[in-house]
């Protein structure tokens, strides 16, 4: 089974908590605070590797969690950073955010990688809060939670040449004749249920990768037949071999139908150079109609070839033509444009009310709430100062918050009071 799409959940590691500690050595008077910071949480990284060729590995394993950072300790010892998780994927994998659909990366080179979830930073220990006016702070931060999200992985095969055409045109037979690939071949439509790759070697310094794609039918771009699932793989190819079935009643109409489906799926596909080939020339009827088909194609400005994939007639000529075309085409692989992450004002916030209470949402304030150690009086007082400084406390008052109301900030539930939140 060929897996070219998967949905996974990634979660980066939480930062380690900061530490509250003081130096107590015998000959170090006024040693002061010595609580170290927590370690950073591990990242989640997706990396393209040549050893993978499908997304089958994600059928049974689709949740990836990085290691948390460890907490800081006394004597200004920092916590250890959490280990990152590296997820190997095949070359040609497009990484999308499942919620927005935005393209995060298109991994087309061996070793190319992208960080899809960043680990939380470690919380600061009390040594970081020491000031001339507060030389013995009893305050520390919790580690920042790591990022987590759902991702969609979409594989687009990387091949130099793609063979396209209607079902039963002989695409698999041609691939088997020119490479070591062994696709399923049978005398009925839709024999090919998955893309097949083969390496064609003409001589010691000329070779290329050819892909046999499942047959297209009218309406494939809207989901008809099987080919629509694999049209994305044609996008990576530099050249198309359009194989026409010589036994068809109207090969040119078949060619137009396939080209229309390619254009409907993506305008880029209609712009790709094509070599048009009439197959099954070994059949007497096909050999007789070949001059007429050739003449009609030449009138359209197309220089066609004829072959018999079954007997090998004309196949070498076709391979030489392909090699010649590839030499003059750019070698760069087309890739999806990566959409930059939108710039977000982290200090922005919203205040809403529902039957459960008041909800304050915003990146910076939710991070501050998650990193506040609510067991420490100084930490609670510091969080109150943050509410005042950001204008959130005033916004709540103006919105009509009353003493005793419940206020939700991220995952933290607080009770509003006249002087402080508790």
Q: What does the domain layout of the chain look like in residue ranges?
A: 5-155, 161-328, 350-415
The architecture CATH gives domain 350-415: 2-Layer Sandwich (3.30)
First to last CA, the chain: 57
Task: Look at residues 24, 147, 122 and name the one whose alpha carbon lies nearest to residue 69.
Answer: 122
The whole-number pLDDT of residue 1 equals: 45
pLDDT of 13 reads 97
Weakly modelled stretches of the chain, pLDDT under 50: 1, 183-193, 220-221, 224-227, 420, 422
Q: Is the fold of 161-328 the same as that of 350-415?
A: no
Going by the DSSP 8-state scheme, the letter that residue 421 receives in this structure is: -
| Tokens found for residue 215 | 């047959």
So what's the pLDDT on residue 10? Answer: 97
Amino acid 39: pLDDT: 96
pLDDT score recorded for residue 216? 61
Q: How many CA atoms lie within 13 A of 261 on its CB side?
A: 28
Overall pTM surpassing 0.95 (yes/no): no
The residue written with tokens 């499908």 in the block is 54
Q: How far apart, in whole angstroms, are the C-alpha atoms of residue 131 and residue 73?
A: 20
Instruction: Supply the pLDDT for residue 375.
Output: 92
Instruction: Give residue 185's pLDDT.
Output: 44
Q: What's the confidence (pLDDT) of residue 361?
A: 95
CATH classification number, 161-328, choose in 3.40.50.300, 3.90.1150.10, 3.40.1410.10, 3.30.1130.10: 3.40.50.300
Tens of pLDDT along 314-357? 999 999 999 999 998 887 776 777 877 778 889 999 999 999 89
| Topology classification of domain 5-155 | Spo0b-associated Gtp-binding Protein; Chain: A, (2.70.210)
Position 2 scores a pLDDT of: 54
| Dist CA 412 CA 158 (whole Å) | 47
């Amino acid at each position: 089974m060929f897996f070219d799409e998967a949905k996974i959940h990634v979660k980066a590691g939480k930062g380690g908590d900061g530490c509250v500690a003081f130096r107590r050595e015998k000959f170090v008077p006024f040693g002061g605070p010595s609580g170290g910071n927590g370690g950073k949480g591990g990242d989640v990284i997706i990396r393209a590797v040549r050893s993978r060729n499908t997304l089958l590995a994600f059928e049974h394993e689709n949740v990836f969690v990085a290691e948390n950072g460890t907490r800081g300790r006394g004597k200004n010892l920092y916590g250890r950073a959490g280990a990152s998780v590296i997820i190997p994927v095949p070359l040609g994998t497009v990484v999308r955010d499942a919620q927005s659909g935005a393209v995060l990366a298109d991994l087309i080179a061996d070793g190319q990688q992208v960080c899809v979830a960043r680990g939380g930073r470690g919380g600061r220990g009390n040594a970081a809060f020491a000031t001339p006016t507060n030389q013995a702070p009893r305050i520390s931060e919790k580690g920042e939670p790591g990022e987590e999200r759902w991702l969609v992985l979409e594989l687009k095969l990387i091949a130099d040449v793609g063979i396209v055409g209607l079902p039963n045109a002989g695409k698999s037979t041609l691939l088997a004749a020119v490479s070591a690939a062994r696709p399923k071949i049978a005398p009925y439509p839709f024999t090919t249920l998955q893309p097949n790759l083969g390496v064609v070697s003409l001589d010691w310094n000329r070779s290329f990768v050819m892909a046999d794609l499942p047959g297209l039918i009218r309406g494939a771009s809207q989901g008809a037949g099987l080919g629509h699932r694999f049209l994305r793989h044609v996008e990576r190819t530099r050249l198309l071999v359009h194989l026409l079935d010589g036994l068809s009643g109207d090969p040119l109409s078949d060619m137009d139908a396939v080209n229309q489906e390619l254009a409907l799926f993506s305008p880029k596909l209609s712009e790709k150079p094509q070599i048009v080939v009439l197959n099954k020339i070994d059949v007497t009827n096909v050999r007789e109609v070949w001059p007429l088909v050739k003449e009609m194609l030449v009138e359209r400005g197309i220089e066609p070839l004829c072959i018999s994939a079954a007997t090998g007639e004309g196949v070498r000529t076709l391979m030489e033509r392909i090699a010649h075309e590839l030499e003059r085409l750019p070698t760069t692989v087309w890739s999806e444009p990566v959409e930059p992450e939108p710039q977000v004002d982290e200090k922005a916030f919203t205040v809403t009310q529902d039957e459960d209470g008041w909800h304050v949402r915003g990146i910076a304030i939710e991070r501050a709430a998650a990193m506040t150690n609510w067991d420490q009086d100084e930490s609670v007082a510091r969080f109150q100062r943050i509410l005042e400084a950001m204008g959130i406390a005033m916004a709540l008052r103006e919105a009509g918050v009353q003493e005793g109301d419940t206020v939700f900030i991220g995952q933290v539930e607080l009770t509003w009071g006249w002087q402080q939140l508790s």
